[in-house]
A = this chain, B = another copy of it.
Amino acid sequence: MTEIGFIGLGIMGRPMAEHLLAAGHRLHTSSHHKPVAPDLVEKGVVVHATPQGVAAASEIVFLMLPDTPQVEEVLFSGDGIAAGLSAGKIVVDMSSISPMATKEFAKRVEKSGGSYLDAPVSGGEVGAKAASLTIMVGGPQATFDKVKPLFELMGKNITLVGGNGDGQTTKVANQIIVALTIEAVGEALLFASKAGADPAKVRQALMGGFASSRILEVHGERMVKRSFDPGFRIGLHQKDLNLALQSARSLGVSLPNTATAQELLNTCVAHGGKGWDHSAMVRALEIMANHQVATS
């Protein structure tokens, strides 16, 4: 049994924390942001008033928060986690945040005597509930080895990519490829449809060749069948591409098609699509072409 802190018990964090709880570990969390759900308290989750209190009571503290500013605040505000750290304690940030900020956070946590892993995930709510998340980790090997049994309670593909920040960098790379492959499939199926071919048959003919991908399989089918319920919301992918574009600017890298994909998501939002599945990016191309891949 390990004393584990978990801050951020939202749509993703809660099912992840419950897998740790179910495995017999003691869970600590904080009520500083909002009250902890009564059923979690009944299951034995220990509630502290501050992140500092959580860190003081735990060997390992997990974070699952919306974005970079929330992670920074929970870590380094006056009664934040850093104030409760001591030698040997571990902070594991499973949020998807800036790779650049992550490298700085890791250094500051190390100065407080702790060790840091960035460990963002992909797989969404479904993967969180099924404990089948992909976990992309950056940080020291020894720290990774200590936390790995806990990762295995939450996910399946668990890779130590490199040092601190490399987990977040891998997540950004993942979101770039996913967005741009959705866009590619959208351009191809819309072109085919406008040229008079059946997009469902075109998709079928392309599977198995060099155009094949998980995106053509899953999101291509969504485009043809017009099933745009999330899945993964456009509003969240906008956040991720913003992270990619901001980081790229500070690094001095041009990401021309990521920039265009972000604009297409903006077009979707202008048409009420913040909550659509990201495969609905094709709708922006459809609006521009005044033509649909398929009728719903």
- In the complex with contacts A191-B244, A257-B180, A197-B170 CB distance below 8 A: yes
The B-contacting residues of A in range 258-290, CB under 8 angstroms, are 258, 260-261, 264, 285, 288-290
- The yes or no answer to A159 lying at the interface (CB within 8 A) is yes
- In the complex with contacts A181-B184, A184-B180, A191-B212 CB distance below 8 A: no
Stretch from A29-37, A146-154, A200-208 at the B interface: A200-208
Stretch from A20-28, A76-84, A109-117, A160-168 at the B interface: A160-168
Chain A residues within 8 Å of chain B by Cβ, number: 73
Does the CB pair A285–B177 fall under 8 Å? no
Does the CB pair B194–A252 fall under 8 Å? yes
Which residues of B lie under 8 Å from residue A291 when comparing CB positions? Answer: 252-253
- The yes or no answer to A93 lying at the interface (CB within 8 A) is no
A215 to B209, CA, bound (A): 10
Does the CB pair B134–A196 fall under 8 Å? no
A188 to B177, CA, bound (A): 6
Which residues of B lie under 8 Å from residue A100 when comparing CB positions? Answer: 195
- In the complex with contacts A206-B177, A257-B183, A192-B169 CB distance below 8 A: yes
A151 to B43, CA, bound (A): 65
Does the CB pair B165–A196 fall under 8 Å? yes
A254 to B183, CA, bound (A): 12
A-B contact pairs, 8 of them (CB 8 A): A136-B205, A165-B197, A166-B196, A173-B192, A180-B183, A209-B214, A253-B289, A254-B289
Chain A residues packing against B (C-beta within 8 Å): 99-100, 122-123, 134, 136, 138, 157, 159, 161-163, 165-166, 169-170, 172-174, 176-181, 183-185, 187-192, 194-198, 201-202, 204-206, 208-216, 218, 244, 247-248, 251-258, 260-261, 264, 285, 288-291
Interface contacts beyond A122-B209, A173-B188, A257-B261: sample of 15 additional A-B pairs, CB < 8 Å, sorted by A: A122-B210, A157-B208, A162-B198, A166-B198, A172-B195, A174-B188, A181-B213, A191-B244, A191-B251, A194-B251, A194-B253, A209-B214, A212-B213, A252-B289, A257-B257
